[in-house]
Structure 1
Amino acid sequence: MMLRTLPRRPLARFSRSAVIASRPAKPSRCATAMEGVARHALTALALALCLVIAPAKAAEHGDTHAPPADAHAADDHGGHGAPAKPIEPLPVKAHGLPVELTRTLQLLQDRIARGSTQAHLAQRQLLGHIEQRLIALDPESWAEAENVRAAVTFALAGGGPGALRVILRSGKVPEAEQPLALGALAYLEGREREARAKLAGIDPRTMPAGLAGQLALTQSALMVRDAPVKSLELLDLARLLAPGTLVEEGALRRQIFVVAQGGDARRFEALAIQYLRRFRRSVYAGNFRQRFAGALTRLDFDSDRTRIASLERMLDEIEPEGRRDLYLLVARAGLEQGRRETALFSAERAMGLAAPDSQPAAQARLYRGAALIVADGRFEEGYEALRGLDRADFVPTDAELLDAALSTARQIRTPSAIAEAAATPPPSSSRPIPESGSLLRAQEALARAERAMDAPTRTP
């Protein structure tokens, strides 16, 4: 049987461009969110962020489609049926401008959590732009609950109380949303008791995804002093509701220090390792490392030597240079808090990670020497190490530490000037001290009594 070859139908009408052209194009949500941003001269980073996100948002909205599988099958096999129609996207509810602006801010902040310093620099300008746009909106916009919640999200994410004040004065905020808006404003204005009363009854899990984690983070901050256990639970919830975001980074950072204050070394280690693995490049990691070093020394590694291994496990999560710097911070904090063993251990680890003639190596020798002069049987070793250091090699704070350590060492080695001064009687004044008449009479009476006692006793 002779097979007849059918001419191949052109696939142009099933191509991606043809499908897109077959229906009116829809603007992406990112384009809507960034409307007018260029007029306010946002930095190139914010614009680049929009360009990166736009294709992904377009895909979410169904702006691009792959050719239908059954259409290709009909063409390839010579089917005579009518071509399948392109699959239309599901309807997507349009959001108000406050929602879109807040999402743009959160996308920028998530880049900050991943270490973008450019995003951090752009944030302030974007915050100012969004605040102006929110304040300028028609008051009727605030009759929509989602717009009010977006404004609260913006305020808690660094936008401040200005926009919320204007929104609440509009008188359009729905009654059901007023506790949220009033509580957020009270928190931002420092009225913690009122903020707790307004926000305590709101379950973050009932809020939109963009607000849920931020609200849990705020509730935790309001309870950390009076109910630290509940505060930790809310930080856990914030992390679960906003994974991978700046909210999670901030919640994890706070959680580590709350746990450290409670002395839970095991949980502290687990949380610190998680932070150092996932957020060590965050723009806020520098501040974290300073506080982390102080928290480590509060856990009292001196009295429990098994915790030294825990310290090593935590710091092994970061690159050698960062590990060296963190060991130096821990050593310095150990000296300041009187944790000799922690300071000595950390300084020696830092020396092993530093180049021999580098500034970090000099710092490590300084911290090690300062710890050794008060260690049993190692005074001379520490004193000689300190004497070999050049004060000019250090920043002012370390130079002052060197001076203080050498002064302490000299006092340990030689009798103190205070002891010598105490042994020497004060010089008598050349001018006699005037005496009162009663004092002179008392002294004369005492002298007569002493003479009578010294005279020989008469026998009858």
Structure 2
Amino acid sequence: MRALAAAVLAGFIALAGAAPAAGEEMEAQPYELVRTLQRMQDQIAAGSTAAHTGQRALLKLIEERFMAAPATVWQEPRNARAAVVYLLSGGQPSVIRHLLGFEQRPNVDERLLLGALAYVEGREDEARNLLQPVAPRGLAPGLGGQIALVKAALMVRDKPSEAMEMLAVARLLMPGTLVEEAALRREIFVASQLGDLDRFEMLAERYMRRYRHSVYAGNFQQRFAAALTRLDFTKDRDRFGRLDGMLSGLDPATRRDLYLLVSRASVYEGRIEAAIHTARQALALSRPGEETAERARLYQAAAKIVTENGYDEARAELRRIDRTRLSAADLELLDIAQGLARHIRQWPAALPETGEIDEPIAPEPKQKEEPKPKAGQVRPGAKPAATAGAEAPRPTPANRPPSARAPQRAASPPADPQQPLQAGTPAASPARPTPVATSVVQQPTPTITRAQELIGAVDALLEGAKGDKE
């Protein structure tokens, strides 16, 4: 490991234009070591996985050199500033504590050392108090950019607008570096949270133009797609062209992957039109039969299944998708969409007719006996003599008027046929248990139950379809 670290160090010092003679890398000053670390991290921002792998070994080597350096080394201002940069670039807090233990402390504003240490160790209030008076523009650029990045992180929750300005300072002080790449990523998402579409669009275009190959670009793309679904880029059809323009400068593969991420996120957010549009764009950038094409077809069909005119086409498309080309997460989405397709137009089973319910009939109420009328007197409401003597047929369960039949719970009104059966929704309980209660309530199917338990995607899709129509 030590040999590897030394080789990495020598290689990056050479990249910096200061290649040492044999063995001279062992005598490098702390600021030179940190400068090499920064150059390596800039390569990470440019997409070098080798630099990302080698960074750990270099950090370990720098730790050993810093711990072995005498107190006099840290009286050089460049070396003292390098200690702060090292810590904020992934270094060990124990190194800074070691330096602070010298009788003669490093020759740098102590607020920087203590504030950076508090920040790295998670003591945010202390870090905020220490660094609040520090102006990043008044520092050397390599240190000022790092401090600006830290100050932005400390204020983003309470003062997001001010955090964005501090991130802009970090980008200004350290262009073309990992600090700028990190500041851009963070500023984009703060802009999305504030709903600042113009700034979001401008910064996103800059990031994708300059840092789309960064080792951290994959994580950025995931968060970027989620941010797009929260903003008007996917809520308003008129903004689709703006989204397409934002992505137009990217290479086809990157553009396709971003469309897929946005489409999938739109499906789960219930943005039906956005999901269909972005899936169609991704499909146009994919070759037939490849994994990305199957994913695009899935997202498009999953969105169309809840539209008024796309149901039949989407259901047929879902059957044709090659399951072997999908990830586990997309297989879950396919199962949900197919379950929804099977049940979206199915009416719930009706309750049986009353005469078929094997339920005891409540006894007839006893008729109140009225006094006999006197001779010649006719009771109010009595039938004429011709029919009065005819005995009325005794009511039976078959001809009993509805009001005299056994009380029974009213059937719920039929659901809208365009809505899926809601699994897990309890049926209205009868006033008292009866033998028929379990036979007339339709039990949810395993498919619908699983779909409801997995995610609320079905509800989101239906709400999205409703919103698009409105």
TM-score by length of 1: 0.74
- Displacement of 1:100 in angstroms is 1.3
Q: Which residue of 2 aligns with 1:180?
A: 112
> Over residues 104-125 of structure 1, what are the superposed CA-to-partner deviations in whole Å (9 max), with x where a residue is unaligned?
1011111111111111111111
Judge conservation of contact 1:301–1:341 (CA < 8 Å) in 2. no
Shift of 1:279: 0.9
Shift of 1:389: 1.5
CA contact (8 A) 1:186 1:192 kept: yes
* 1:401 alignment partner in structure 2: 333
Aligned length: 367
Which of 35, 40, 43 lines up with 1:111 in the alignment?
43
Distance change (3 Å), C-alpha of 1:172 and 1:408:
farther
- The equivalent residue for 2:438 is none
* Cα distance change of structure 1 residues 273 and 428 upon mapping to structure 2, 3 Å threshold: same
1:254, distance to aligned residue in structure 2 (A):
0.6
Counterpart of 2:275 (choices 343, 349, 360) is 343
One-letter identity of the residue aligned with 1:451: K
CA contact (8 A) 1:43 1:122 kept: no
Q: What's 1:52 paired with?
A: 15
Superposition pairs for residues 7-86 of structure 1, below 5 Å?
A: 40-42=3-5, 44-54=7-17
458 and 183 in structure 1: CA distance in 2 versus 1, 3 angstrom threshold: farther
Q: Does 1:420 align with 2:349?
A: yes
Residue 266 of structure 1, CA deviation: 1.6
Q: Out of 18, 29, 54, which is 1:122 matched to?
A: 54
When residues 129 and 55 of structure 1 are mapped into structure 2, their CA distance, relative to the original with a 3 A threshold, is closer
Q: In the superposition, relative to structure 1, how do residues 45 and 281 fare at CA in structure 2: closer, same or farther (>3 Å)?
A: farther
C-alpha offsets along residues 127-166 of structure 1, whole Å, 9 cap, x if unaligned?
A: 1111121122113433444333211111111114221121
Q: Contact 1:112–1:120 at 8 Å: present in 2 too? A: yes
Residue 247 in structure 1 maps to residue 179 in structure 2: yes
Counterpart CA distance in 2 for 1:286 and 1:177 is 37
Q: For 2:341, give the aligned amino acid.
A: A
CA distance in 1, matches of 2:352, 2:145: 68
C-alpha displacement at 1:176, in angstroms? Answer: 6.4
List runs of 5+ in structure 1 lacking aligned partners.
Answer: 1-37, 59-94, 433-445
CA contact (8 A) 1:112 1:283 kept: yes
- Partners of 2:125 and 2:234 in 1: CA distance: 40
Contact 2:10/2:19 (8 A) holds in 1: no
Residues 206 and 457 of structure 1: CA distance in aligned 2, closer, same or farther (over 3 Å): farther
Paired amino acid for 1:98: P
Counterpart among 163, 178, 191 of residue 259 in structure 1: 191
Q: Deviations for 1:420-460, whole angstroms, at most 9, x for unmatched residues?
A: 388799x9999x9xxxxxxxxxxxxx989x426x4446669
> Could you tell me whether the CA contact under 8 Å between 1:392 and 1:399 is conserved in 2?
no
Decide whether the 8 Å contact of 1:148 with 1:177 is kept in 2: no
Query: Match of 2:366?
Result: 451
Deviates more, 1:339-348 or 1:294-303: 294-303
Separation in 1, partners of 2:345, 2:252: 38
Larger relative contact order (CA 8 Å, sep ≥ 6): 2
Higher helix share: 1
- Partner Cα separation in structure 2 for residue 161 and residue 424 of structure 1: 78
- Aligned residue identity for 1:51: A
Task: Give the deviation of 1:376 after TM superposition.
Answer: 2.7
What amino acid maps onto 2:310 in structure 1? Answer: R
Root-mean-square deviation (Å): 2.9
The code of the aligned residue for 1:150 comes to: A
Q: Aligned ranges for residues 123-162 of structure 1 at < 5 Å?
A: 123-162=55-94
- Is the Cα contact below 8 Å between 2:297 and 2:317 reproduced in 1? yes
SS at structure 1 position matched to 2:110: helix
The equivalent of 2:425 in structure 1 is: none
How many Å separate the matches in 1 of 2:18 and 2:277?
A: 52
Q: Kindly state the Cα deviation for residue 99 of structure 1 after the two structures are TM-superposed.
A: 1.2
